[in-house]
Amino acid sequence: MPISDFRAIETLAKAVELGSIRRAAAVQGVSPQAASQALAALEARLGVRLLHRTTRSIALTSEGQQLLEATQPALAALERALDRARTAKDEIAGPLRIVAPKYSFLPVLWPLVDEFCRRHPDVQPDVKLDDRIGNWVQDRADVGFRIGSPPEDGLAARRLFAMQLIVCAAPAYIAAHGAPDSIEQLASHRCSVFRQPGTGRVLPWLLKVGGEVISHDLPPALSTNDAQFETEAVLAGHVIGLLSGLSAAPLIRAGRLVPLLTAHAADHLSVHVYYGSRTALPSRVRAFVDLSVERLAQSSAYVLDARELAAAEAKGRRKPRRR
């Protein structure tokens, strides 16, 4: 049924209720002429007369009476459904679909989801972690996170913080093998490489040299497509790894990892939160975006400044004193 028929039936019901097409038009925010034309068009499509009209009054024909009696339950159900949709928009409840990268992102995302669920227990998170860039519409996402460039046009986005790439080793590795003093010396060390999920392509190390980011290929002593596995291998002292600040920063601050070649740490990537229209966001989506910005915008939890990196490297390179 055309939407114009729904509107014409609404006009018919309102005109009978108020006793005037002019009054019905005023309530619906249209001109009397538009209301009359809508009713006339409906009568023409149905091939029957629905209203008896005089200059002073209107009355339903028997066909009009039958039409209203048959359609009023459906119209009332439709109105209730629309009211529920309006109410749901303002409630912090219901499903919340979140998409985020799998690469090192769980330590960032889980505290947000945990805090949000404690604040709003009627929300049901539906979380998809995937390093492949998906389709916003097909994923039916409410909120997304991305490492790298902002998402495509048509989505709103907020930059949260820089994502660093830091060369790291465990104290045990440095004690056993020493630490490289230059990029060139990396070739003589045991290094891990990351394989891109989905394609299996080995990614080069990205290092900053003279203000530019370069790609540096290394013979792998270990390769994996899982960031957590690579981090564990570095922590165990098997390899040196190029790790993201998302996983490395807390471990460096705890003394479990030592940053190396810190003058070459790259920070050209950023973490963004993105979402749909700014004007029609359900309250649960707006509340989660606001919490993400509040907790993560310009966060230092996953970012070490140059001074902190240099101090951690100097401390980690010192040989333990002999007793």
- The phi, psi pair for 52, rounded to 5°, reads -90, 125
Pairing label, strands 266-275, 143-147:
antiparallel
pLDDT of 323 reads 35
Check: CB of residue 165 under 8 Å from CB of residue 291.
Answer: no
In which region does residue 197 sit, left (phi positive, over 0), alpha (psi from -120 to 50) or beta (all else)?
beta
Q: Over the stretch 73-111, which tens digit does the pLDDT of each residue have? A: 877 777 766 666 555 556 788 899 999 988 888 889 999
Q: Can you give the pTM of this predicted structure?
A: 0.69
What 3-state class would DSSP assign to 104? coil
Domains defined along the chain, listed by start = 3-90 (1.10.10.10), 94-323 (3.40.190.290)
pLDDT of 321 reads 42
Tell me the average pLDDT across 187-215: 91
Q: Over the stretch 271-308, which tens digit does the pLDDT of each residue have? A: 999 888 766 788 899 999 999 999 999 888 999 999 99
Tell me the average pLDDT across 50-57: 75
CA distance 9 to 32: 15
Output the average pLDDT for the chain: 86
Does residue 165 surpass a pLDDT of 70? yes
Does residue 211 surpass a pLDDT of 90? no
Q: How far is CA 220 from CA 36, 46, 148, 231, in A?
A: 78, 76, 25, 15
